[in-house]
Amino acid sequence: MNLGLSYHGPIGVFDSGYGGLTILRRLQALMPQYDYVYLGDNARAPYGTRSFQVVYEFTLQAVRKLFHMGCPLVVLGCNTASAKALRTIQQVDLPRIDASRRVLGIIRPTAECIGQLTQTRHVGIMATPGTIRSNTYALEIAKQYPDIQVSGQACPMWVPLVENGEYDQPGADYFVRKYVDALMCSDPQIDTIILGCTHYPLLLDKIRQAVPAGVQLMSQGDYVARSLEDYLRRHPEMQRRLTQGAQVRYLTTEDPESFKDAAAMFLSHPVVAERIVLG
Ligand code: DGL
């Protein structure tokens, strides 16, 4: 079935909630010329503790919606969706829906860069329980850098702290330190930690205070943005399909007013959001 709506259109960016705004921000900083549509499934966030099947179904609904809105290309700005849904969508759904469109994730572009950052070849991943359980980071890193040892730490409390605006409050310190200490205890030789959830950049200051000296933190946004820029350079047929009006539309499955307030924490400017229904 070819949707056949619009041949040209914006880049779609999807996340379970607000975290993908940290990716959108970096995409816009590097490629401000393109139009973007951001979709946050806020009514059903968080995804991090949901099953594979549910995350896949929700993500597919979001991708279909963004295709219907004319996006030739959708970036899953969510590690949990990239870990649990991307492969099936690319291999099974895309050929049936519209083989000319593309859905890209954010785990591979992050994993690809890690080899240049670690000296000890011991890397930590901090992410949602779903991303950690999927083992996707370890598998992607092993493909590129079999010599790197990867340890994962699930951080189930971090997304709720961010979604509830508690990320810069003193109460957040306890949970930040708890998960950082657990990770470093599991492998004291770690010298690089991937923040493998798009919500975590908001906790960056607190995480920085909690990690031992000499351990570097890798936030994904810039790596994902550079990887997409490179992808578009290598795929001019896709690049030509992207409209360049420097406009952004924000869609949410929850109340647009709440989205507006919360989005201000992630972006440095106010936004107007529209409510949509998925499913
Ligand atoms: N921001 C999402 C990610 O990168 C996770 C948020 C959630 O648990 O829904 O994994």
DSSP 116-176: GT-SSSEEEEEE-HHHHHHTHHHHHHHHH-TT-EEEEEE-TTHHHHHHTT-TTSTHHHHHH
C-alpha torsion 85→86→88→94, nearest 10 = 120
**Whole-angstrom Cα distance, residue 217 to residue 195?**
7
Q: Is 159 in the pocket of ligand 1 (CB under 6 A)?
A: yes
Please state, in angstroms and rounded to a whole number, the distance separating the CA atoms of residues 197 and 46.
11
Q: What is the pLDDT along the chain (279 residues), one digit of tens a residue?
A: 445 445 899 999 999 999 999 999 999 999 999 999 999 999 999 998 899 999 999 999 999 999 999 999 999 999 999 999 999 999 999 999 999 999 999 999 999 999 999 999 999 999 999 999 999 999 999 999 999 999 999 999 999 999 888 999 999 999 999 999 999 999 999 999 999 999 999 999 999 999 999 999 999 999 999 999 999 999 999 999 999 999 999 999 999 999 998 888 889 888 999 999 998
Beta bridge partner(s), residue 102? 73
Pocket test for ligand 1, best of 198, 203, 252 (most atoms within 8 A of CB): 198
* Cα 19 to ligand 1 centre (Å): 7
- Kindly give the distance from the C-alpha atom of residue 235 to the centroid of ligand 1, in angstroms, as a whole number: 28
Write out the H or E segment, with its range, that includes residue 273.
strand 273-275
Task: Give the other-Cβ count within 10 Å of 165's Cβ.
Answer: 12
What is the number of residues in the chain? 279
The response to whether residue 47 sits with its C-beta less than 6 Å from ligand 1 reads: yes
Q: How far is the CA of 6 from the centre of ligand 1 (A)?
A: 29
Phi, psi angle pair for 169, to nearest 5°: -95, 160
* Pairing assessment for the beta strands 248-252 and 36-40 based on DSSP bridges: parallel
Q: Is 45 in the pocket of ligand 1 (CB under 6 A)?
A: yes
Please state the pTM of the whole predicted model. Answer: 0.94
Tell me the catalytic residues.
78, 197
Ligand 1 proximity of 48 Cβ (cutoff 6 Å):
yes
